[in-house]
Amino acid sequence: MSARGAWAVGVWLCCLALAAWAALDARYVADLSAFLPSRPTPAQQLLVDQLRDGPGSRLLLIALERGDVETRARLSAALAHRLRGDREFSNVGNGDEATAARDREFLFAHRYLLSAAVTPEHFTPSGLERSMQETVADLASPEGLTLQGLAVRDPTGEMLTVIDQLSRTQAPRPRDGAWTSADGARTLLIAETVAAGSDTDAQEHALAAVRAAFQDAVRDSPLPPARSVELVMSGPGVFAVASRAKIEHAVMRLSAAGSALVILILLAVYRSPSALVLGLLPVATGALIGVAAVALGFGVVHGITLGFGITLIGEAVDYSIYFFIQSAGGAPERWERRLWPTMRLGMLTSVCGFASLLPSGFPGLAQLGAYSMCGLIAAAAVTRFVLPVLLPRNFSVRDLAPAGERVARRLRAVRGTRAAVPWIAAFCLAAGSIAVLLLSRHALWSRELSSLSPIPATELRRDAQLRADLGAPDSLDLVVVQGASLDSALSGAELAARALEPLIAQKVIGGFDSPAVYLPSRASQTARRASLPDPATLARNLDEAARDLPLDAGKLGPFKSDVEAARRGRLLSAADLAGTSMAAGLETLTMRRAGGWSALLPLHAADPSRPSIDIARVRRALASAQSSAQALDLKQESDALYSDYLREAMRLSLAGFLAIVVLLLIALRSPGRAARVLAPLVLAVLTVAAVLALFQVRLTILHLVGMLLIVAIGSNYALFFDSGDRDGAEAGPTLISLCIANACTVMGFGLLSLSGVPVLEALGTTVAPGALLALIFAGILTPAPPTPAPPVHA
Amino acid sequence: MLALSAQLALSALLALNLPLARAASDDLPQVMRLLAARRHGRVDFVEQHFLSVLKRPVESYGVMTYDAPNRLEKRTVEPRPEELVLDGNELTVERKGRTHVLDLDAYPSILPFIESLRATLAGDLPALERVFDVDFSGDLDRWTLTLSPRDSKVSKTVSRVRIDGSRDVLLKVEILEANGDRSLMTLRDHPAP
């Protein structure tokens, strides 16, 4: 080993050790944040908060299916009891009578602070007469039968007002003390986790806790039909856990399968285990350095970045293939001199492509860029500087030159004698592809973030079903009010509510929820308390009001003492709601954030069958009421965010492509040669895009990344063909090395297209055919050299 | 004398009671059959509520429609328009522009108010007897059903329901609540439009 070689190995080992330390020390996250902007605008921040910690994100929808209604109701009670004892859940609802009774008691006790009808006017003789007239009518109505007991304490009907304020949405119906779907097929529960929806580990733990509690409940149930009851769960946490598991599972399985296939191919080709081990060194080094670079550069490593890491294998494994096969015959020095510059240029081209992803605001893409760049440079460096040193003296791989010659002869036959023919065919193909892409340009790109979601449609339908049963619509339209304190956020919510109220009558919205219904702001509470008259005034006004009414004012003593108690009582605070479902309501509709609080007012569509809301009219109504509240359409915002990413990724890819063009112009010192290198790559990208469009595949951001990868990987092929001399692609060993490298790439990415995970499938279906086409086009479009190259090893 | 008059009195009582006892055994099923045979009815109602919290009774009136076997519609006109529809076990109340849907099973306190009327109209004696102890008096042309809730939970709200009728027509429904409040509904054939 020469001194220079020893240096190389020493540096390599040091780098490996440092990288291993950085990779082990890194923080790995598997949450949504890979898909969320790293530098959000204020509106995006609201969206991000919503997606990560919003009320919806912590909600688990639980359904019990099969078995009879009564058995399910018993299980529901047992399950709810267990979950309520679990600190992981802040709120568990199943429609039980105990909670309902506590709720009623709380509402009744605090009705004068909670009812929006409580104003000074309400307690004047005419105000009292009006509200008591209503109560008399209520008493005469069939519903009044349940209210008679209340009349002496609440002749102004405050309890009804409070209940009306709360029951804006249709709640599920309790049957045997448990919420049951209208058709009786499902018994329903909701559980809200303490942990944020974006904390996938905590969500996974919570799901396991629900499953365990359910199994305990079934085991302890004295009813034999309990065994047949099935547990079904849905909600954002369920989806997050399922999609992470799916991606992890797919990445593991495919990495294993891909590696096994590549190893098999290499073993078959090299017929040498030591060559195989040496050949995998650049890939392994590249992967490790890539992870370390991301960890050092970003602080955290996204799980999905590791998933994309499989793409690195696709290119890095090629390097050792080129080295071993091209330097076969025991001449690494000649390879270094003649072929390494070509490979280095190919590597730099790829690095240019990936560098363009670095400035992306989409953390997943930026990390992919950093990972690939550093990984490729490391893999190429190991191939160039370390592999030659480690090569055993008597090292040899199977002689593939004859096979290469056969391929070369075929290639020459295909090219024919007239160089123009392949180029004319290529122009036709390019024109056809461009025509297809132009024709389908409006439906070419998917604009929805959900296109990246690995959740199958059947599970989304089940989620919608459970939400409909529970009356818990997926709140996609929201009004958000910010405040320095919880109380100021609640005040803001009250102001916004006054602006929204008229929109219900105008059928712009069907209704809305507000946290201020559960806990009015202190200002509102104070005003309501101040509206309550002193005992003497109340007695006088009551006598006057009841003069012409059938109500007997003399029997209303309990009412007077309740009003007096409220007048002297203290205001409600969030702590007073503990133990009621109102506490959960308040908690879900308020969020603590840096520097204050947000109050959320989810909007309900006027027509449930067409759940779209004219958000512009909502914004106008809020603005004209001087409300600082912001109206958000979460789906629209998240799709807009995704569209931004897509546009940005297109711009960056284009910049990367231009960088590659400039690099080739400088390195090749000839516009013609640069054009010849680029032509097969552009043609491969166009053809793949056109074929995807023909199959009605909506292109996503990952297809775009795939196209970048076609250029990155394909540039190696094109450059080797371009070098044209007797060491270039025309030579048998070089040609066969390209074919084998290509086979490995197509195999690896082909597997991705079978993963069932949309992001990985998109990569696979783009890169596998693209890499193959890039090789074929590069071979065919390179002009035949004037004289056939003589066999190298002869 | 004393013995004789006692015997007379006894026989008079027996004379009075015997047909009654027979009527109870024969007429109740017959009334039920008649009621069950009636598929549709439409009547005006006037309901008086005698409540302790009220100085004088409150009156409401409207139209009630029945369709066999289990649809009952009560449309109140005064003092405030309101509609109550019972279809199967689902109770829909429309009041002040809002619609509330209730599952009857979930509200045991409302059940006797509704079930007494519905089961009687349907001539469904087993259904009545599930909820009430049924006492029948009178004859086919003028009968009275006295219903006492069997369930102690129900009898906490309603102590007795009394329905007066003639053949297949209901004339009066009186509901006596446990707290002493009372409502009396008088029914009259709805004039044909």
Q: What is the pLDDT of residues B1-26, one digit of tens each?
A: 334 344 444 444 443 444 444 444 57
Separation between Cα atoms, residue A556 and residue A700, nearest integer Å: 69
The per-residue pLDDT for A168 is: 58
The per-residue pLDDT for A744 is: 83
Structure tokens at A257: 């399968």
Q: Using alpha carbons only, how large is chain B's radius of gyration in Å?
A: 19
- Residue A42 near chain B (CB below 8 Å): no
CB contact under 8 A, B103 and A175: yes
Which residues on neighbouring strands pair with residue A175, listed in sequence order? A178
- A109-134 pLDDT, tens per residue? 898 998 888 888 888 888 888 888 88
What residues of B are in contact with residue A176 (Cβ under 8 Å)?
Answer: 105
| Residue among B156, B112, B104 nearest B134 (CA) | B112
- State the pLDDT confidence band at A787, using cuts at 50, 70 and 90: very low
- Residue A175 near chain B (CB below 8 Å): yes
The per-residue pLDDT for A419 is: 65
Distance from CA of A92 to the nearest CA of B (A): 20
Identify which of A134, A141, A152 has the shortest CB distance to residue B53.
A152
Q: Exposed, middle or buried: residue A595 (CB in 10 Å: 0-12, 13-18, 19+)?
A: exposed
Mean pLDDT along residues B92-99: 73
CB contact under 8 A, A141 and B95: yes
Identify which of A142, A143, A151 has the shortest CB distance to residue B53.
A151
Name which residue leads in pLDDT, A730 or A396: A396
| Residue among A698, A778, A707, A661 nearest A311 (CA) | A707
| DSSP label at residue A445 | B
* Interface residue ranges in chain B relative to chain A, Cβ cutoff 8 Å: 47, 49, 51-60, 74, 76, 79-80, 82, 84, 93, 95, 98, 100-103, 105-107, 109-110, 113, 157, 177, 179, 181
Q: Is the confidence metric ipTM above 0.95 for this complex?
A: no
Q: Exposed, middle or buried: residue A461 (CB in 10 Å: 0-12, 13-18, 19+)?
A: exposed
Interface test with A, best of B46, B47, B50, B53 (most A CBs within 10 A): B53
In degrees, rounded to 5, the angle at the alpha carbon of residue A595 between the alpha carbons of residues A592 and A600 is 40
The CA–CA distances, whole Å, from B82 to A436, A569, B49, B71 equal 63, 37, 16, 17
Name which residue leads in pLDDT, A420 or A318: A318
> Is the pLDDT reported for residue A298 higher than 80?
yes
Name which residue leads in pLDDT, A723 or A492: A492
The per-residue pLDDT for B108 is: 65
CB contact under 8 A, B101 and A170: yes
End-to-end CA distance of chain B: 64
End-to-end CA distance of chain A: 30
CB contact under 8 A, A552 and B53: yes
Cα A24 to the center of its chain, rounded Å? 26
CB contact under 8 A, A148 and B177: yes
Could you tell me which chain B residue has the CA closest to the CA of A174? B106
- State the pLDDT confidence band at A59, using cuts at 50, 70 and 90: confident
Name which residue leads in pLDDT, A185 or B97: A185
- Residue A650 near chain B (CB below 8 Å): no
Separation between Cα atoms, residue B59 and residue B80, nearest integer Å: 11
- A211-233 pLDDT, tens per residue? 998 888 888 877 777 778 888 88
Chain mean pLDDT for chain B: 77
- State the pLDDT confidence band at A702, using cuts at 50, 70 and 90: confident
Q: Would you list the DSSP string of A240-306? A: HHHHHHHHHHHHHHHHHHHHHHHHHHHHHHH--HHHHHHHHHHHHHHHHHHHHHHHHHHSEEEHHHH
- Residue A787 near chain B (CB below 8 Å): no
Name which residue leads in pLDDT, A99 or A661: A661
Separation between Cα atoms, residue A730 and residue A329, nearest integer Å: 17
The CA–CA distances, whole Å, from A405 to A173, A741, A786 equal 78, 17, 17
The per-residue pLDDT for B17 is: 40
The per-residue pLDDT for B193 is: 55
Distance from CA of A603 to the nearest CA of B (A): 18
- A193-211 pLDDT, tens per residue? 888 777 778 888 889 999 9
User: A724 Cβ partners below 8 Å, 6+ apart?
Assistant: A730, A782, A785
Mean pLDDT along residues A708-714: 86
CB contact under 8 A, A137 and B93: no
The per-residue pLDDT for A147 is: 57
Interface test with B, best of A134, A138, A141, A469 (most B CBs within 10 A): A141
User: A194 Cβ partners below 8 Å, 6+ apart?
Assistant: A58, A87, A88, A89, A90, A202
Separation between Cα atoms, residue A407 and residue A732, nearest integer Å: 7
Name which residue leads in pLDDT, A305 or A472: A305
- A34-47 pLDDT, tens per residue? 666 666 666 666 66
Mean pLDDT along residues A576-591: 78
Query: How does strand A511-512 pair with strand A596-604?
Result: antiparallel
Chain mean pLDDT for chain A: 80
CB contact under 8 A, B58 and A140: yes
The per-residue pLDDT for B12 is: 40
Structure tokens at A538: 């109340």
Size of interface A-B (CB pairs under 8 A): 80
CB contact under 8 A, B110 and A141: no
Cα B124 to the center of its chain, rounded Å? 13
